[in-house]
């Protein structure tokens, strides 16, 4: 694998590290925005999504290390991926269950788009594709869980 391809792999993987950092920050903000009466059922779900993103980053960072790259720090808020998590943070502050779930849904859609963009890159090796596909499947499941919870409110 040539240096250009290795650098592109690291860039793609680091974009996903940042989107997972966005997910972590978003769900931490969602936990803060929940009121005690209405949010008890959401707290374990949001904490699991935070934990999943931490785990996803560990896998991504391991691959980045194999390419002798440095894992990204921070979120993508000022970057090129998406700005949906900024909307998420603004909506969550009201503590409204529906607004929180709608923001979570938007955040999960953002993560799915980032994973789809990564998978569309030709530079990915098979090990990276396999990890990204697995993580995307988990995020899709989380998205479906959020959608189901939101449907109950209608």
pLDDT digits over 70-115, tens only? 988 876 654 334 445 545 555 555 667 887 888 888 889 989 999 9
CA distance 68 to 122: 20
pLDDT at 25 over 50: yes
| Rounded mean pLDDT, 6-23 | 92
Reported residue count of the chain is 154
CA distance 63 to 59: 7
3-33 and 84-92 are packed helices; what angle lies between their axes, rounded to 10 degrees? 10
Q: Which two tokens stand for residue 133?
A: 């596909």
Q: Which of 147, 45, 137 is nearest to 103 (CA)?
A: 147
Q: What CATH number should be reported for the domain whose range is 3-69+78-153? A: 1.20.1260.10
């Amino acid at each position: 694998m040539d240096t250009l391809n290795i650098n592109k792999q690291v860039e793609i993987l680091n974009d996903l590290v940042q989107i997972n950092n966005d997910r972590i920050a978003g769900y931490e903000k969602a936990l803060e925005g929940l009121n005690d009466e209405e949010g008890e059922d959401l707290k374990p779900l949001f904490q699991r999504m935070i934990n999943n993103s931490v785990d996803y980053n560990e896998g991504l960072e391991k691959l980045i290390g194999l390419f002798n790259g440095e894992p990204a720090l921070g979120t993508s808020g000022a970057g090129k991926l998406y700005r949906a998590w900024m909307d998420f943070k603004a909506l969550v502050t009201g503590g409204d269950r529906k607004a929180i779930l709608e923001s979570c849904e938007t955040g999960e859609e953002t993560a799915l788009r980032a994973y789809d963009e990564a998978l569309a890159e030709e530079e990915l090796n098979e090990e990276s594709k396999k990890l990204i596909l697995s993580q995307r499947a988990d995020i899709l499941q989380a998205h479906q869980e959020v959608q189901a919870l939101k449907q109950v409110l209608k």
